[in-house]
Every structure is written in C-alpha cells, then in structure tokens.
Structure 1
Amino acid sequence: MQIKDVLLASGNGAFFYDDQAAIRSGATQDGFIYVGEPITPGFTSLRIPASSLSVGLVLTDDTVVWGDMMGVQYSGAGGRDPVFETNQISDLTSRVVAPRLLDVDASLYLDACAKVFEPFEQQRLSLAIEYGVSQALLRAAAYLQRATMAEVVCAEFNLPLPTRRVPIYCQSGDAREVNVDKMILKAVDVLPHGLINSRQKFGVDGQTFMEFVKWVAKRTREIGRPGYNPVLHFDVYGWIGQEIGLEPQRIADFICRVVDTVPGFTINIESPADFGSTQAQIENYAEIVSILDSRGSTARIVVDERCNTLEDIRLFAEARAAHLIQIKTPDVGSLADTAHAVLLCKENKVGAYVGGSCTETDLSAQASVHISVATQADMMLAKPGMGVDEAFSIVGNEQNRLLAILNRRVSKNVS
C-alpha cells in the first residue's frame, strides 16, 4: 500500500472558538474578549484560541501529504460537534484511524475514505478527523495520479473539467467598516458577513442592522470601481427571530423591508432564525422561502445552523428550505461528503455555498477550493481567519493557480 506511516502535528486554527450560547445570552465584549461565564460544554472561557491537528501521510517514496483537523468557531451550537480537543482527537487518530490508513489504496479516493471512515464502536468518527484525514487522502490521490485535487474529484464523480472560477465570499469579523472597505477595494464577489451575533449589533427591531445594510450599499457605490455590483450577504445568527419572534410571516416581512432599503442589490440573509431543531428549521425555513418567492423578492435565505451533515443538507435541499445551503466543511466531515452535498444541492436546484469557518487553516482552505471548483459550487468562503486579506489571497490565488492548470488540460485535449 502507498501509505507507510502517519504523522501528527499540533497547530493553531486561524481564529478562536466562541461560546455562541453565552454571547446570545448577553455576554459583553471587553476589547477582544467576551466577559461572562461559559454556557456551552467544553468551553473554559467564552473565547478560546482555536487549535488544530495536522495529519501527515508518509507515502512509499517518503513524500508527506497533509490535512488539517479542527472545529468551527461556534462549536457545540446548533447540533454541532463539541469543542475540538487536541489530545482526545490525537489519541483516537493514533489508535483507530492510523492503522486503517496503512491498509488502503490511497490512489482510490472515495474507496479509501469509505474504508477509513467506517464507524468505530457503532459511532461515527469525529467530524474533525474525517475532515482532516479526507484532505490528506485527497492530496495523496492527487500526488499518486499526478493530477490536481480537483481532477481527482472530477474523475471520482464523473464531472467535466471546470473552466470557471467560483465566486468568493469574504467575512468581516468585528472590524466591520475597515474590512468592508478592503472588500470593496478588492472587488470581492460577495460581502460582508457582518457578524451580527448580538442584540447590540442587531438593534431594537433590527434598526442597527438595517442601518449597517444601508451603509454597506452606500459605501459600495462610493468607493467601488464602476460597474462593481457585489452580492450583499449578511449573517444575522438567528437575531431576526430572536428580536421580532419566530413567526415566518413576520420574518419574511422584515427581510423584505431590508431588501427595499437597498434597491439594485441581491441580498443574502444567513440564519434569520433558529427554530431549535433540524425538523423545525426545515419546516419554517421552507415557509419563509415560499413567502419570499411568492412576492418575487430578490432576497435569498441561507441556512447554516441545524444543517450540518450530508443528511441534513439532503433534507433541506429536498424541502427547498433555503435558497442557498452553507456546506460548512468541518461540520460535514469528509470532503467527499462536501462534494456530494454540492451535487445534491444542484440536483434539487438549490444554491450550494461551500463555507467553513474562520478557525480553519491554509491547508483546509486550499483543499476546499478544489472541491468548490470541481463541483462548480455557487460560491465559497474566503478562509481562514477574519482578516479578509489573508483569506481572500489564499482562496483566490489557489483558484487562479488551479484554473490555469485545468485550462491548459482542456486546451490540450481540444487540440
């Protein structure tokens, strides 16, 4: 077999793990930290530095290919896996996953993933393990086949080689105004996220949020280059429902008012409300989508919380319970499942957004690019981190390098 050893190296994620429940409950900010007692199990404080664990596959010629495991920023919230614990993940990887890796054909990507990610003690492996190991296996397959990771995905899923880039979405973090300016100057496709994760940022009846939306649109017209017309995408972390109630009609009315304030822009509203369970989320989001569509609204609902695994994504897509589904890569697990999820969204005529988290790494972001381009997702997140510049360059440059290779392949095949 082509894998003869497995290496592990602890590392850092590019941002922090945050206790969403405590922040929603009114925790205040003091500089960069949040003040208060943790609510979500596993958190020792409301904001803790993100950790990661790299897994390296040593191939028979001593080449080492890597993948990175980590959790998402709001670990333990909305049905997600608990906070990433490096020692626990390292132990499980060493005891269970490493022996399996030594016994697979690494040139066969989907087959290797299926064998390595079999349940252990009737339980699915940690999604973080699936995520990191699937990156390493994808790089191994690409190396052994002398191809790009995207080409491996295209071959495994019987997809044509793509030639078009995938629109990139940047997130601002708390440095909203400065980062919005950066995004506009760099002509980002989709912006700005906004991190509307507290009552203070949303405002009474959503007035603070509404003013921010208007400011972003105005700023785009003021400093953007001629003809620049990005999609405006705002993540409100359930605060529309928190502030005005969990009634789909009222939520749809509010979203329509938001859209009316910024004519000429396509508006994405992510996580308008949290209805407490996957089933309730599906039913109520489907109703919100139906109301907006019946009015001819240009607003697009994006689901995140309560839509984590491939099975969740299938349920949301089949119910048309969103216009766009965030495929949050570390929550989905294996990158093979992310590819499946994009194709599943397309089958159901629902938008596919390959997302992830600011807590990720350069390696996981680059692997996500290959999945996004190979499957031709509708948009993908600039990651990791919250600084805009770094994430946009990592994801954008990887796309451009990949497309240069793929365009050459296509032109050679044509000639």
Structure 2
Amino acid sequence: MQIKDVLLASGSGAFFYDDQAAIRAGASQDGFIYLGEPVTPGYTSIRVPASSLSIGLVLVDDTVVWGDMMSVQYSGAGGRDPLFDIKQISDLTSRVIVPRLLDVDASLYLDAHAKIFQPFERERLPLALEYGVSQALLRAAAYLRRATMAEVLCAEFDLPLPTCPVPIYCQSGDAREVNVDKMILKAVDVLPHGLINSRQKFGTGGQTFMEFVRWVAARTREIGRPGYQPVLHFDVYGWIGQEIGLDPQRIADFVCKIADTVPGFTLNIESPADFGSTQAQIENYAKIVSILDNRTSNARIVVDERCNTLEDIRLFAEAKGAHLVQIKTPDVGSIADTARAVLICKANNVGAYVGGSCTETDLSAKASVHVSVATQADMMLAKPGMGVDEALSIVGNEQNRLLAILNRRAAKNAG
C-alpha cells in the first residue's frame, strides 16, 4: 500500500475558539479577552486560542502529504461537536485511524475514504478528525495521480473540469471599518461578514446594525472602483430573532427593511434567528425564505447554525430552508462530504457557500479551494484568520494557481 507511516504534529489555528453561549448571555470584552466564566462544556475561558492537529501521510517514496484537523470558532454551539481536544483526537487517531490508513489504496480517494471513516464503537468519528484526514487523503491521491486535488474530486464525482473562478467572501472580524476599506480596495466579491455577535453590535431594535449596513454600502460607492458591485453579506448570529422575537413574518419584515436601505445591492443575511433545533430552524427559515421570495426582495437568507452535517444540509436544501447554505467545512466532516453538500444544494436550486472558520489553517483553506472550484460552489470563504489580507491571499492565490493548471490541461486536450 502507498501509505507506509503516519505523522502527527500539534499546531495552532489562525484565531480563537469562543464560547458563543457566554457571549450571547452578555459577557463583556476587555481588550481582546471576554470577562466572566464560560458556560459551554470544555471551555476553560470564554476565549481560547485555537489549536489544530496535523496528520502527515508518509508515502512509499518518502513524500509526506498533510491535512489539518481543528474545530470551528463557536465549537459546542448550535448542535456542533465539542471544543477541539488535541490529546483526545491524537489518541483516537493513533489507535483507530492509523491502522486503517496503512491498509488502504491511497490512490482511490472515495474508496479509501469509505474504509477509513467507518464508525468506531458504533459512533461516528469526530468531524474535525474526518476533516483533517480527508485533506491528507486527497493530497495523497492527487500526488499519486499526478493531478490537482480538484481534478481528483472531479474524477471521483464525475464532474467536468471547471474553468470559472468561485466568488470569494471576506470576513472583517471586529476591525470592521478598516477591514471593509481593505475589502473594497481589493474588490472582493462578497463582504464584509461584520461579526454582529452581541447586543452592543446589533443595537436596540437593530439600529446599530442597520447603520453599519448603510455605511458599508455608502463606503463601497465612495471608494470602490467604477462598476464595483459586491454582494453585501452580514452574519448576525441570531440577533434579529433575539431582539424582535421569533415570528417569521416579523423577521422577514425586518430583513426587507434593511434591504430597502441599500437598493442596488444583493443583501445576504446569515443566521437571522436561532429557533432551537434543526427541525424548527428548517420550518421557520423556509417561511422567511418564502415571504422574501413573494416580495421579490433583494435579500437572501443564509443558514449556518443548526445546519452542520451533510444530512442537515440535505434537509435544509430539500425544504428550501435557505437561499444559501453555509457548508461549514470542519462541521461537515470530510472533504468528500463538502463536495456532496454542494452537489445536493445545486440539485435543489439552493445556493452553496463553502465556508468554514477563522480557526482553520493554510492547509485546510487550500483544500477548501479545490473542492469549491471542482464543484463550482456559489461562493467560498477567505480563510483562515480574521485578517482580510492573509486569508484573501491564501484562498485567492490558490484558486488562481489552480485555474492556471486547469486551463493548461483544457488547452492541451483541445489541441
């Protein structure tokens, strides 16, 4: 078999793990830290430096290919896996995954994937583990086939080789104004996220948020190049529902009111409310989507919380429970399931956004580019970290390099 050894190396993610429940309950910020006690199991403080675990597959010619495991910023929230524990994941990988890796044909990606990710003790493996190992497997298959990771995925899922770039979405973190200016000057496709994750940032009745939306639109007109027309995308972490209540009609009215203040822009509102369970989220988001569609609003609803796994994504897509589904890569698990999620969204005429988290790494971000381009997702997140420049460079440059290779392949095939 092509894998003869496995290496593990602890590392760091590009941001921090945050206890969302504690922040929603009103934890105040002191500089970069949050004050108060954590409430979500596993957290020793409200904000914890993100950790990661790299897995390296040593191939027969001593080439080593890597993948990175980690969880998302708001681990343990919205039905997600608990906070990432390097020691626990490392132990499970060594005991269970390594023997499986040494016994597969690494050139057959989906076949190896199916064998390695069998349940352990009747439980699904941690999704962070699936995510990292699947990246390493994809790189191994690409190396052995002398192809890009995108080409491996296209072959495995019987997809045509892509030639078009996927729009890139940047997130601002708390440095909103400065980072919005960076995004506009670099003409990113979708901006700015905004990190509207507290009552202070949302404001009474949403007033602070609405002012920020109007400012972003005005700033785009003011300093953007002629003809620049980005999609405006704001993540409000359920605060519309928390502030005005959980009635779908009222939420839809509020979203329309915001959209009306920025005519000419497509407006994405991510996580307008948290209805407490996946089923309730699907039913109520579908109502909001229907109301907006009937009004031909320029606003679109994006689902994140309560839509984690491939099966969750299938349920939301089939129910039209969003205009756009965030496929949050560490929460979905394997890269193969991210590909499947995009294809499910497309089959149901729902937008597919390959997202992820600021807590990821350069390796996981690059793997996400390949699955996004291979499946022609509707947009993908610039990651990791909360800085615009680094994430846009990593994701944007990887996409451009990939498309250069694919275009050369297409030209040779045409010749």
Q: TM-score, normalised by structure 1?
A: 1.00
1:298 Cα deviation from its structure 2 partner: 1.1
CA offset digits 1:184-233 (Å, max 9, x no partner) = 00000000000000000000000000000000000000000000000000
Gaps of 5+ in 2: none
Q: Structure 1 CA distance, aligned partners of 2:43 and 2:218?
A: 39
Partner of 2:46: 46
Aligned twin of 1:247: 247
Return the alpha-carbon distance in structure 2 between the equivalents of residues 236 and 222 of structure 1: 25
1:285 corresponds to: 285
CA distance in 2, matches of 1:27, 1:64: 44
- The corresponding residue for 1:362 is 362
Structure 1 residue identity aligned to 2:279: Q
- Superposition deviation, residue 21 in structure 1: 0.2
Equivalence map 1:15-414=2 (5 Å) = 15-414=15-414
Match of 2:280, SS?
Answer: helix
User: RMSD between aligned alpha carbons?
Assistant: 0.3
Distance in 1, Cα, partners of 2:322 & 2:111: 31
- Once residues 242 and 10 of structure 1 are traced to their aligned partners in structure 2, the CA distance between those partners, rounded to angstroms, is 38
CA distance in 2, matches of 1:178, 1:98: 45
TM-superposition CA deviations, 1:134-176 (whole Å, max 9, x none)? 0000000000000000000000000000000000000000000
Partners of 1:316 and 1:139 in 2: how far apart? 30
Give the drift of 1:300: 0.5
Deviations 1:318-349 (CA, angstroms, capped at 9, x unpaired): 00000000000000000000000000000000
Deviations 1:285-320 (A, max 9, x none): 000000000011111000000000000000000000
C-alpha separation in 2, matches of 1:296 and 1:183: 28
Distance 1:361 1:42 in 2: 22
The DSSP-based 3-state class of the residue aligned with 1:215 is helix
For 1:102 and 1:368, the matched residues in 2 are separated by 25
Query: Does the residue aligned with 1:15 lie in a helix, a strand or coil?
Result: strand
Gaps of 5+ in 1: none
CA distance in structure 2 between the aligned counterparts of 1:341 and 1:299, rounded to whole angstroms = 23
- C-alpha separation between the residues in 1 aligned to 2:232 and 2:253? 18
Alpha-carbon deviations, 1:109-152, whole Å to 9, x = none?
A: 00111000000000000101100000000000000000000000
Please give the alpha-carbon distance, in whole angstroms, between the structure 1 residues aligned to 2:29 and 2:145. Answer: 50
**Take 2:57 and 2:138, find their aligned partners in 1: how far apart are those partners?**
11
> Secondary structure of the equivalent of 1:71?
coil
Structure 2 SS opposite 1:207: helix
CA drift of 1:53 comes to 0.2
The letter of the residue matching 2:370 is H
Structure 2 letter corresponding to 1:119 = P
Distance in structure 2 (CA, Å) of the matches to 1:198 and 1:211? 15
Letter aligned with residue 225 of structure 2: R
CA displacement 1:375-406 (0-9 Å, x = unmatched): 00000000000001000000000000000000
CA distance in 2, matches of 1:113, 1:380: 23
Q: Secondary structure at the match of 1:77?
A: coil
Corresponding letter in the other structure for 1:55: I
What secondary structure does 1:36 align onto? coil
AA aligned opposite 2:143: Y
SS of 1:345 mapped into structure 2: helix
Percent identity for Structure 1 against Structure 2:
86
CA distance in 1, matches of 2:97, 2:133: 9
Q: What SS is found at the alignment partner of 1:219?
A: helix
Q: State the secondary structure of the residue aligned to 2:291.
A: helix
Q: Distance in 2 between matches of 1:410 and 1:243?
A: 52
Distance in structure 2 (CA, Å) of the matches to 1:344 and 1:112: 22
